[in-house]
Chain A
């Protein structure tokens, strides 16, 4: 069975760092682009970042660019999100999601996000 399992969330103070992990099973991670998506309590989904299947390109939402870094270790079948300079507004459930297809010529992910993890919560203490 195809699964994604996030870990690494928790309670953090503003300004600190946290690294989230997303372990893939049931498929070969290196064949897929991957995304991080977050959802603040009671709010909608917000796309955070994408990394191409081979790690050659990465793109970020304006709200996290310069603070968050998406990476992958295909040998470990694991996706990461390094979050630095955390802010209270980063409070959310963080999901990793698999991108179903990529353009064969460019490597660019095409969507949809066909597999999602159950999410890991990041909250802040004052």
Chain B
């Protein structure tokens, strides 16, 4: 299918760990990228590929991949991590790109 599926919302206590998942057939062939978006701002990539964290992104952000599922984990969530998170990858054809529906992360 040509979709990436994410849970709409998750919450996490300050300092605890939260994992966000993304499912799609294309993920069996292509790695996902993860973007953080805060209100009124453009998205920012926080993790991509097999194990790539851009410079300036805290190491509490990590990613993993298994079969048709990609995951983003925030270990020791901070208040500033409250945002919408989107996964992104290519569809099975490799030529078209997709975004998941987004997961709203609330830090309690």
Contact = CB atoms under 8 A, between A and B. Distances in A.
A102 interface: no
B42 A113 contact: no
Contact of A116 (B44, B52, B90, B95): B44
A112 B42 contact: no
A62 B101 CA distance: 17
Contact of A47 (B45, B54, B99): B99
Interface in B52-108: 52, 54, 84, 86, 88-90, 94-102
Contacts, number: 61
Interface residues of B, number: 26
Contacts of A54: none
A81 B44 CA distance: 22
Contacts of A44: 84, 86, 99-102
Given A112-B33, A113-B33, A47 B97 contact: yes
A118 B27 CA distance: 28
Interface of B: 31, 33, 35, 37, 42-45, 48-49, 52, 54, 84, 86, 88-90, 94-102
Interface of A: 35, 37, 44-47, 50, 57, 59, 61, 95, 100, 108, 111-114, 116-119
Given A44-B100, A113-B88, 6 more contacts: A44-B84, A46-B99, A108-B94, A111-B48, A111-B97, A112-B88
